[in-house]
């Protein structure tokens, strides 16, 4: 999947206020990130949206952030 497509889907999910989709899309962006900084950025966004939604994925996202040293 191209970055442009992912960017478009992220913008559409933001416009629609689709929190669950934002968790999925930011996690996808993290998986595709080319740098550790970008990965952390996207994971943080996925985590925040997961917390806002009460999404069960928040625990795994938090674990990934902790493994990166982003939350100690």
Whole-number pLDDT of residue 2: 63
58 vs 47: CA distance, rounded Å: 5
Whole-number pLDDT of residue 4: 77
Whole-number pLDDT of residue 29: 97
- Give the model confidence (pLDDT) of 35-70 as tens digits: 999 999 999 999 999 999 999 999 999 999 999 999
Residue 72 resides in a domain: no
Question: How many CA atoms lie less than 13 Å away from 6 in the CB half-sphere?
Answer: 15
- Give the model confidence (pLDDT) of 7-24 as tens digits: 999 999 999 999 999 999
Angle at 26 between CA 23 and CA 32, to 5 degrees: 140
* Cα Rg, the chain, nearest whole Å: 12
23 vs 72: CA distance, rounded Å: 22
Q: Which domain holds residue 16?
A: 3-67
46 vs 61: CA distance, rounded Å: 7
Structural domains in the chain (count): 1
């Amino acid at each position: 999947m191209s970055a442009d497509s992912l960017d478009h889907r992220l913008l559409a999910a933001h416009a629609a206020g689709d929190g669950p989709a934002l968790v999925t899309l930011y996690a996808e962006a993290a998986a595709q990130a080319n740098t550790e900084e970008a990965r952390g950025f996207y994971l943080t966004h996925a985590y925040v949206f997961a917390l806002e939604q009460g999404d069960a994925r928040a625990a795994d996202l938090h674990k990934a952030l902790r493994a990166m040293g982003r939350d100690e």
